[in-house]
Homo-oligomer: A and B are copies of this chain.
């Protein structure tokens, strides 16, 4: 069986582009293959769509994640069959944990070609489902537009979802009905539930020691001020979830600590609380299980209240609670900038320089891992900024996140705080930064090891690493030259190995537009 192509401008692929654009999805991060060639040809006919090439699919979906977190709307992606999707999954996983809206379009073989089991054939649905809130295989060229609108709606519904459309090549090249592109049926986030609001208000007044754990849009400046007012009025403690898609912080904003990552610190941070109130956050859980340690840092017997689910209007829920408890809006306490550091370059002197020089409206994309554990403390007084974390624990989120955030927010400086080991998973993002001339400063923390794992190995009681452990956890033989790596992909770069040297380079980078990488030897 074969199938004939529709006329250029009237194919399923054209309907796909038209539907995306009609629903305000106008950026497409792409790594195409043969089965997507009609989609590429259709994109070529729509100059309103900004197409951004990633040289590896993890860059594509990680950038779509960073873009949507900052733009507040989904980007599309273009991925090539099962293996292309597979490469994209780790950063889809991170995006899913951040509730990021995303519309992935995965090209597949022509529907009649699938039974032949050609070499690239695979079970795309099985691959997509674990990392997608919505998966739909397009059934015909006529189905392209409604399916795309459905995906956009599913992606955009609060709190946001990763969606995957599978587009068989024959439905991309087939003739589509010439009708207006389908519009996504959007839905506003749910209003606060008065019963929950009054139950939480009552709990906050019962004298028990209470922690309020927040995530999502509860971590924007306005909502944080409201939450601080509630805390001031009731004596509750505020915390952010351990990892969050986006948090507004810095000068003029309320500083909130996160529940720590390390198990013992997390347990200590929640110790003694008798009540926990969740505002768009998940019930706190330890990142990994450890022998003889609990799975959650929440103390035994601590009572849980949910003020609002991630899909609710979190700022409105906090407003309602504030009014119920008679809270005012808090004025944030001004945090001081740290004094300059001198001498050795280490996690603290790095943090000091970053804290001092972060410019107004910067976007920090944080995959600093061990080096960055204490960065919040040194940046609480920095100029107002957004802080984006790698939310799902999948390594290789940082560089792509920064790429996408910079595309979403021209005119804002993006700072990628990046562990060296993690940087290698998606180093190809550097090329996209150069290609798109993005205003990103990448800071590589080059400790030349998987420091987090060396710590965990110690925790296992295995003693000092021997030959095999050493060869799996140390990256110093050979050392990676990140300056050359950046230059190989067209990104200017320099190296620092003292506190003063790093501060100088970082301060200069903050004032100079365009991509730049600093390898910080620590």
Contacts and interface: CB of A to CB of B under 8 A. Distances in A.
Interface stretch (A143-151, A358-366, A462-470): A462-470
A119 B392 contact: yes
A480 B487 CA distance: 9
B295 A392 contact: no
Contacts of A109: 288-289
A130 interface: yes
A421 interface: yes
A334 interface: no
Interface residues of A, number: 120
B90 A83 contact: yes
Interface stretch (A32-40, A403-411, A500-508): A32-40
A194 interface: no
A478 B431 contact: yes
Interface in A113-153: 113, 116-120, 122-124, 126-127, 129-131
A289 B55 contact: no
B424 A56 contact: yes
B38 A2 contact: no
Contacts of A305: none
A226 interface: no
B459 A478 contact: no
A84 B396 CA distance: 10
A494 interface: no
Given A93-B83, A461-B8, A434 B478 contact: yes
A237 B427 CA distance: 47
A377 to B, nearest CB: 23
B82 A130 contact: yes
A169 B40 contact: no
Interface string A409-428: 00000000000010011011
Contact of A82 (B93, B434, B452, B469): B93
A43 B468 CA distance: 6
A155 to B, nearest CB: 19
Nearest to A450: B32
A178 to B, nearest CB: 19
Interface in A259-292: 282, 285-292
A170 B468 CA distance: 22
A44 B170 CA distance: 52
A467 B44 contact: yes
B33 A87 contact: no
A185 interface: no
A342 to B, nearest CB: 30
A306 interface: no
Contacts of A130: 82, 122-124, 126-127
B116 A123 contact: no
A465 B44 CA distance: 7
Interface stretch (A45-53, A246-254, A307-315, A317-325): A45-53
Given A467-B47, A478-B431, A460 B41 contact: yes
A370 to B, nearest CB: 12
Contact of A468 (B46, B89, B465, B478): B46
Nearest to A83: B394
Given A8-B462, A41-B457, 6 more contacts: A2-B293, A51-B468, A58-B87, A119-B391, A173-B291, A482-B488
16 contacts: A4-B291, A5-B291, A32-B472, A37-B459, A43-B468, A51-B471, A86-B394, A119-B242, A119-B392, A120-B288, A435-B471, A478-B489, A482-B488, A484-B485, A484-B488, A485-B489
